[in-house]
C-alpha cells in the first residue's frame, strides 16, 4: 500500500527534492556550494517577500524560534505573546527559559487574536520590546491577521516576530510591505523538504535589537550567520544535502509562482472544508487556514480509531489534536506538495473510513463536494 502523508509537517516530497538527496555530497567550503547557497538565499527572499537577508540554520523550526530570542533580547526584557495554541505557548516557554518577562494575549484555542487587544496592551506598557505570534497556529488550524497585527505593532516601538513555520507558502505574507520585523520558517512544511532546516529574516529594526542584546549565544549567533552569508557561506557545517534539495523546491515554487502556490492552497483548503461539512462534521478553527484543516470529532466517533482506520486501510496519515484537543479534533494538512488528486484521495478515505466505522455517511457525497470546488476553480 502507498503511504500518503497529510500532516502539518513533515509534508510530502517532490521527486526533484528526493532525487537531489541521492547525489554525492559536496564540500561546503567550495565555490560550487557557495553558488548553490547564494541562489537558495535569493530564492528564500522571494518566498519570504523581503529584501532582507534570510538566515539559514540546520535545525527544526523550534531551533530558529529559540535563536530569535537568544539574539534579540536581554535578561528581564518584556515581551508580549499571542497565545492561542500549542505554538503560541512555545513562544512563552522559550521566552521564560531565557529569563524574559512574558505577558500574553490569551486567545481561545480555535480562534484568532483581535489586533485591538494587542494595541491596548502596547499602549498600557511601553516597555514591551516585542510581540510574538504565529501566521498559522498549526495546533488549531487558525490563520491570524498578521497584516492587522503588524499595523498596530508598528505604531509602537516593539518589533513583531511571526512564526510562519506552517504558514509560509500557504498564506499571503508580505513581510516588507506589512512591516513584519522577524519571520521564522522551517523546511518540512510548505517548503516541501525533509525536516532539518530553519530560516529567519530580520528587518533593520530587528537588527538594531540584535546589536544591543546580551543573552548568551554562540552556535545561533545571527551576526556570525550574516557575515558568513555575505561570502556565500554558513559559520559551521550546514545540512549540505538539504540546502541542495532546497534549491530544487525553490525552483518549483518560482516556476509555479508564489501567488499561484498560495491560491492552490486556498482552493484545496476550501475543498476540504466543503467536503467535511457535507459529512456533518464541524470545522474547529475560525478563521480557518489554507495550510491545515482542524475538524471537530463529534461524540460517538473515536478520533484515534478514525486516524488508525485511515492509515491502516487507505495509507492516509492525518494528525490528531495536541494537548487538551487530543481525541477531540483531527487535522488534515493540505500543505506543500499537494495536487488535486491528493485532496480527492484524502476526502475519499475520510468518508470511506467514517462509513466503515458505522457513522451514517452517504458514500461519495463529500468527494463530490470536493470535486465541485476543484473543478470550479482554475488551478
Binding positions for ligand PLP, rule: CB under 6 A: 8-9, 60-62, 87, 134, 138, 163, 165-166, 186, 195
Rounded Cα distance between 320 and 308, Å, is 10
Closest CA to 162 of 258, 154, 149: 149
The three-class DSSP label of residue 78 is strand
**195 vs 315 by CB, closer to ligand PLP:** 195
The three-class DSSP label of residue 53 is coil
Closest CA to 331 of 345, 309, 346, 341: 346
Nearest-approach distance from CB 39 to ligand PLP, in angstroms: 24
- Is the distance from CB of 192 to CB of 336 less than 8 angstroms? yes
- Is the distance from CB of 174 to CB of 201 less than 8 angstroms? no
**48 vs 87 by CB, closer to ligand PLP:** 87
**37 vs 132 by CB, closer to ligand PLP:** 132
Rounded Cα distance between 3 and 315, Å, is 4
Give the strand pairing for 182-186 and 159-163. Answer: parallel
**191 vs 361 by CB, closer to ligand PLP:** 191
Q: Residue 249 contacts by C-beta under 8 Å, 6 or more apart in sequence?
A: 14, 16, 17, 191, 192, 193
Q: How many other CB atoms sit within 10 Å of the CB of residue 200? A: 26
Nearest-approach distance from CB 351 to ligand PLP, in angstroms: 27
**10 vs 369 by CB, closer to ligand PLP:** 10
Return the H-helix or E-strand segment holding 186: strand 182-186
**60 vs 377 by CB, closer to ligand PLP:** 60
Nearest-approach distance from CB 311 to ligand PLP, in angstroms: 20
Nearest-approach distance from CB 70 to ligand PLP, in angstroms: 15
**140 vs 296 by CB, closer to ligand PLP:** 140
**34 vs 62 by CB, closer to ligand PLP:** 62
**77 vs 163 by CB, closer to ligand PLP:** 163
Cell of residue 64, nine digits: 530558529
Nearest-approach distance from CB 132 to ligand PLP, in angstroms: 11
Phi, psi of 184 (to 5 degrees): -110, 140
Tell how far CA 103 is from the center of its chain: 23
Rounded Cα distance between 45 and 29, Å, is 23
Give the strand pairing for 198-202 and 319-320. Answer: unpaired
Q: Residue 320 contacts by C-beta under 8 Å, 6 or more apart in sequence?
A: 303, 304, 307, 326, 327, 329, 330, 331
Amino acid at each position: 500500500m502507498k503511504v500518503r502523508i497529510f500532516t502539518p509537517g513533515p509534508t510530502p516530497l517532490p521527486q526533484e527534492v528526493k532525487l537531489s538527496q541521492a547525489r554525492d555530497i559536496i564540500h561546503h567550503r567550495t565555490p560550487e556550494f557557495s553558488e548553490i547557497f547564494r541562489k537558495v538565499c535569493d530564492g528564500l527572499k522571494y518566498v519570504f517577500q523581503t529584501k532582507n537577508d534570510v538566515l539559514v540554520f540546520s535545525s527544526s523550526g523550534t531551533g530558529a524560534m529559540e535563536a530569535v530570542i537568544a539574539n534579540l533580547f536581554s535578561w528581564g526584557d518584556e515581551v508580549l505573546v499571542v497565545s492561542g495554541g500549542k505554538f503560541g505557548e512555545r513562544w512563552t516557554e522559550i521566552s521564560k527559559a531565557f529569563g524574559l518577562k512574558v505577558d500574553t494575549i490569551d486567545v481561545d484555542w480555535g480562534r484568532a487574536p483581535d489586533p485591538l487587544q494587542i494595541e491596548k496592551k502596547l499602549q498600557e506598557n511601553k516597555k514591551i520590546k516585542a510581540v510574538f505570534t504565529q501566521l498559522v497556529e498549526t495546533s488549531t488550524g487558525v490563520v491570524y491577521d498578521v497584516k492587522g497585527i503588524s499595523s498596530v505593532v508598528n505604531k509602537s516601538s516593539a518589533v513583531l516576530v511571526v512564526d510562519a513555520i506552517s504558514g509560509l507558502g500557504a498564506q499571503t505574507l508580505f513581510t516588507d510591505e506589512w512591516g513584519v520585523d522577524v519571520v521564522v520558517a522551517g523546511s518540512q512544511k510548505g517548503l516541501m523538504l525533509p525536516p532539518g532546516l530553519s530560516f529567519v529574516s530580520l528587518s533593520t529594526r530587528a537588527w538594531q535589537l540584535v546589536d544591543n542584546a546580551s543573552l548568551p549565544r554562540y552556535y545561533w549567533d545571527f551576526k556570525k550567520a550574516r557575515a558568513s552569508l555575505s561570502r556565500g557561506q554558513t559559520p559551521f557545517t550546514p545540512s549540505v544535502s538539504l540546502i541542495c534539495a532546497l534549491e530544487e523546491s525553490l525552483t518549483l515554487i518560482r516556476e509555479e509562482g508564489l501567488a499561484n502556490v498560495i491560491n492552490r492552497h486556498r482552493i484545496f483548503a476550501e475543498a476540504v472544508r466543503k467536503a467535511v461539512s457535507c459529512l456533518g462534521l464541524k470545522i474547529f478553527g475560525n478563521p480557518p487556514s489554507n495550510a491545515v484543516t482542524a475538524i471537530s470529532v463529534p461524540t460517538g466517533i473515536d478520533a484515534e480509531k478514525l486516524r488508525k482506520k485511515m492509515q491502516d486501510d487507505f495509507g492516509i496519515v492525518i494528525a490528531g489534536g495536541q494537548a487538551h484537543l487530543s481525541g477531540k479534533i483531527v487535522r488534515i494538512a493540505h500543505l506543500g506538495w499537494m495536487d488535486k488528486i491528493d485532496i480527492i484521495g484524502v476526502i475519499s478515505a475520510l468518508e470511506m473510513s467514517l462509513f466503515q466505522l458505522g457513522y451514517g455517511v452517504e458514500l461519495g457525497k463529500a468527494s463530490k463536494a470536493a470535486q465541485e470546488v476543484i473543478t470550479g476553480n482554475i488551478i
